């Protein structure tokens, strides 16, 4: 046990997921609205998850405000954009904790701050369909690791943190459907992948979320939206993992937070009470551990299901086209990454998909080379 994580069984898990691939897949889902909604808010709830072939009870509520705060206040709820960045930061943090733990490094403290610019129209509302701009995150670590070790771990995080990869890569939902009578599914139009972003807006506001590590996979996050002179702060909120994924089942995980943010934003783009949304996605441990090179390391397999008796597929497709978060997932991008060790900056890079995939390719090459050497050694003995 180190840093609150027991990673002694990883080798056995790797063997199992090679032999039984379905045990590698964890599926998460969120729906909204969940129960009565206060004006200007959307509440989502996590649904039963699956970790391999095991059902995992999940029952957390996540609330969001649907408009941007107007002044320097303590907001009772975050916006969907704050939660999306918190989901990125929390996933980077957990991946980093696992990385240091695997290297035998005891952590003193860690936090991750993710930030982005949200484009605004003349009325101060988010520009429909424009992705978040200038995505960046910074990891602050206090431990005894040397700078080279810390840089090596951070480089692996940019390749294997599932939520970092989902905003880095071109990762639109696999499907989006409107469910009609009898379960009939009508496909919904999705934003076009790789569409060029519009020119920089005249106005924008900064969105930021900071997740602070507590123990194991547990953390707390606070978020802000606004400029330096006037911003609203929300939190702290908890983030954790299910017990089956080395957590204590204390709070939603970072993938559920991301799904809830997406549900909340889309719900707010439609008339009150007009739609019920279900968003789902999956993690594949084979990709996260590079056991199977073809398996993605990002959070993927995203699906959206809408039940809206009073709305048409065209109405819902227009809402999807106006989503800032869907646009952010749909377009590949660069993410600026900083690493600070004991209060000193030791790394700064621009993370892009090609570099992240190159890291995975190099690890795969080394693993195959090592496997070949092991086979030769076994033959000699």
**pLDDT at site 309:** 83
Instruction: Encode pLDDT of 27-57 as tens digits.
Output: 999 999 877 678 889 999 999 999 998 999 9
**pLDDT at site 74:** 62
DSSP string, 107-120: EEEEEEEEEEEEEE
**pLDDT at site 197:** 61
The list of the chain residues with pLDDT below 50 reads none
Instruction: Encode pLDDT of 136-153 as tens digits.
Output: 999 999 999 999 999 999
**pLDDT at site 241:** 87
Bridge partner residues of 49 (DSSP):
56
**pLDDT at site 374:** 58
- The Cα–Cα gap between 193 and 203 comes to 25
Identify the H or E element spanning 287: helix 285-288
The residue among 119, 102, 161 whose CA lies nearest residue 137 is 161
**pLDDT at site 11:** 60
User: Backbone phi, then psi, for 352, in 5-degree steps?
Assistant: -135, 160
- The Cα–Cα gap between 149 and 153 comes to 6
- The Cα–Cα gap between 138 and 87 comes to 14
Q: Are strands 175-179 and 300-307 parallel, antiparallel or unpaired?
A: parallel
**pLDDT at site 188:** 87
**pLDDT at site 195:** 56
Q: Is 171 helix (H, G, I), strand (E, B) or coil?
A: coil
- The Cα–Cα gap between 29 and 62 comes to 13
- pTM of the model as a whole: 0.93
């Amino acid at each position: 046990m180190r840093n609150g994580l027991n990673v002694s069984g990883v080798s056995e898990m790797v063997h199992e997921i090679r032999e039984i691939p379905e045990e590698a897949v964890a599926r998460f889902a969120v729906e909204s609205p969940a129960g009565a909604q206060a004006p200007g808010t959307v509440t989502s709830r996590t649904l039963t998850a699956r970790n391999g072939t095991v059902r995992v009870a999940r029952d957390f509520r996540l609330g969001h405000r649907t408009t941007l705060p107007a002044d320097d206040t303590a907001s009772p709820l975050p916006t969907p954009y704050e939660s999306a960045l918190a989901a990125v930061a929390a996933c980077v943090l957990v991946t980093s904790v696992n990385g240091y733990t695997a290297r035998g490094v005891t952590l003193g403290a860690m936090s991750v701050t993710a930030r982005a610019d949200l484009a605004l129209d003349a009325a101060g509302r988010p520009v429909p369909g424009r992705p978040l701009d200038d995505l960046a995150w910074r990891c602050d670590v206090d431990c005894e690791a040397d700078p080279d070790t810390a840089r090596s771990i951070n480089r692996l995080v940019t390749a294997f943190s599932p939520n970092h990869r989902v905003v880095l890569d071109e990762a639109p939902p696999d499907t989006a459907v409107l469910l009609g009578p009898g379960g009939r599914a009508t496909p919904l139009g999705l934003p076009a992948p790789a569409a060029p972003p519009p020119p920089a807006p005249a106005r924008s506001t900064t969105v930021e979320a900071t997740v602070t590590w507590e123990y194991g996979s547990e953390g707390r996050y606070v978020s802000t939206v606004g400029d330096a002179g006037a911003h609203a702060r929300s939190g702290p909120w908890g983030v954790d993992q299910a017990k089956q994924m080395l957590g204590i089942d204390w709070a939603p995980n970072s993938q559920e937070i991301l799904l809830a943010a997406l549900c909340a934003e889309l719900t707010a783009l439609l008339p009150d009470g007009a739609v019920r949304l279900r968003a789902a996605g999956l993690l594949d441990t084979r990709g996260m551990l590079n056991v199977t090179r073809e398996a993605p390391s990002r959070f993927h397999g995203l699906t959206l299901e809408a039940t809206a008796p009073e709305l048409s597929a065209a109405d819902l497709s227009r809402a999807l086209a106006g989503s800032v978060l869907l646009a952010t997932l749909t377009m590949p991008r660069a993410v600026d990454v900083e690493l600070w060790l004991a209060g000193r900056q030791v790394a700064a890079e621009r993370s892009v998909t090609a570099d992240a995939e190159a890291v995975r390719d190099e690890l795969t090459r080394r693993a195959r080379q090592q496997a070949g050497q092991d086979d030769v050694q076994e033959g000699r003995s």
